[in-house]
Amino acid sequence: MAYRAPVEEYKFIYDHVVGFDQVRATDQFGEASADLTDAILGEAGKLCDEVLAPLQRNGDLDPAQLENGVVRTSKGFAGGYQAIAEGGWVGMAATPDFGGMGLPMTVASSVNEMMAGACLSLQLNPLMTQGQIEALEHHASDEIKDVYLPKLVSGEWCGTMNLTEAQAGSDVGALSSKAIENGDGSFAVTGQKIFISWGDNDFSGNVCHLVLARLPDGPNGTKGISLFLVPKYMPDAEGNPGVANSLKVVSLEDKMGLHGSPTAVMQFDGATGWMIGAPHNGMKAMFTMMNNARLGVGGEGIGAAEGAYQHAVSYALDRKQGRSPIEGGTGAIIDHADVRRMLTSMKAEIFAARSIALSCAVAIDMGRASGGPDWAARAAFLTPIAKAHGTDIGNEVSYMGVQVHGGMGFIEETGAAQYCRDVRVTAIYEGTNGIQAMDLVARKLMDGGEAAFRLLEEVEETAEAARLDHPDLAEPLWSAAETMRETVELFVAQPDLNERFAGAVPFLRAFARVLGAHAHLKAAVAAGDGPRVALAAFYIKRLLPEGLAAMSHAREGASGLYALSADDLSAQ
């Protein structure tokens, strides 16, 4: 079965789970009617099904190459990117002032996710550009906006994000890249960056790098970092690509997956750049891009899960093996209980993770449209959950997809293993999932848990309202929400951050389980009966209990983690 974008699923979630009607009711997004968003999702679905999905295997089998300093992209990727750009999909959420559609982040997130499901390695390219667009919209000077945003929004130029250095890793404050003022408003940027997704390509007119570097008077640590826009080609007086800048691709990483996405080591040798935002305040501007990217990366995980799931279902429907254990069975492996367990788990996990991500997107839209601090706080709280859980589920579902295939899943020609290899890095980049969890239990609880408690109150209200018609689903969800509330209270009262960090990952997992069950219960209530109720029952009765175990794990603190010394751990 070829990939099919789950357009109807997004529509259902909009209408019955995440409250997208609130977004449509705002002045800013009042034009995002059901007819318009249905049409947009439909057209994006066609792009994914007919243009991008056929490129999925090409990216793996014909990877990007660096030849004499020139990046050569996978066969068909140039045409695929051109279709994305010409359709306006790069600038979906960008302001109309520079040619964007001005669509809600909820819609843009849905389109990005389905593109990731179709061809993750190519979808990474516009995702990076979208993050750069948002950073420039918020922090760049008018002169920079006028030159760069129209080109980036149209997809004529591409954008990247340059944070990581070999000696620094996640400790961005340890970077060594330098920037020296040229005296004409520009800066000479020097340094080397690693892990730069889509650091170059052979199909866009220019590649614009956002680079973190330190001014000569910049203090140590993240508070001394500034952000610079460094283009591959210097724009001329008309804003067109001119002379080459002093930068180059040193090499492309030999990666586990995402072979179609060139991940570059970038060298800047006094390259001309322009400061974005205030001096020594680069992390603020970069975080605008990173937060955009974190939701997007969560969507990549979910998209990859969707692709892996569809691949596995297709195989399970066709593969004949053994005697069917059910009356009227087809004889295919989909009749077998363990295969059903895996496929149902995959479907239930995808729905829950997708609903969490779109709930985060709705909060972002409402925060932008209303300026309400509660919406902004909700978006901030949900972002690490959407990123970490979405990518965890991407990894877990793609793993199960290989298992459904059995021995053939280990054979590359089936394509099942590609989903595992491609999605694996999503749990690492844009802040590892451990870092996301630490952020959740530290910064995101600095409000005393208010944002968390408001979410849990909504979960309990939904459960209370559903007790009459779905008591077997409502009661365990209400109970889990109460236990989660107690866990939040315990974490808020714990002043030692390392004690919180010890349980951060299971804390995030537990919260995601409660939110996922909430989404499933809302779907069951909306449907009344049928497959959605059965899927909700599966999630709440079989997967939600894992959240309770995760809460117990989270409460254990740090002492048990240090009961074994470093020598104990390394002993043979």
CA distance 546 to 349: 13
Taking phi first (over 0 means left), then psi (-120 to 50 degrees means alpha), and beta for anything else, what does residue 543 get? alpha
Reduce the DSSP state of residue 19 to 3 states and report it.
coil
Reported as half-sphere exposure (CB side, CA atoms, 13 A), residue 409 has a value of: 21
Contact assessment for residue 264 and residue 253, using Cβ atoms and an 8 Å cutoff: yes
Catalytic position from the list 113, 165, 300, 430? 430
Q: How far lies 318's CA from each of 284, 332, 404, in Å?
A: 52, 6, 12
Looking at the chain, how many residues does it have?
572
Q: Taking Cα atoms as reference points, which of 567, 566, 446, 419 lies closest to residue 500?
A: 446
Pairwise CA distance, residues 160 & 486, whole Å: 42
Gap between the Cα atoms of 517 and 529, Å rounded = 17
In the numeric block, the tokens 């680079």 are attached to 211
Instruction: State the first-to-last Cα distance of the chain, in angstroms, to the nearest integer.
Output: 48
**Beta-carbon count within 10 A of 534 CB:** 13
Dist CA 461 CA 464 (whole Å): 5
Distance CA 368, CA 209 (A): 26
Q: What is the CA radius of gyration of the chain?
A: 24
**Spatial CA neighbour of 59 closest among 123, 132, 149:** 123
The H-assigned helical ranges of 140-212 are: 142-154
Cα–Cα distance for residue pair 481/470, rounded to 1 Å: 17
Alpha-carbon span 348 to 309, nearest angstrom: 11
- Would residue 430 show up in a list of annotated catalytic residues for this protein? yes
- Classify residue 179 by its DSSP letter: E
Residues recognised as catalytic: 430
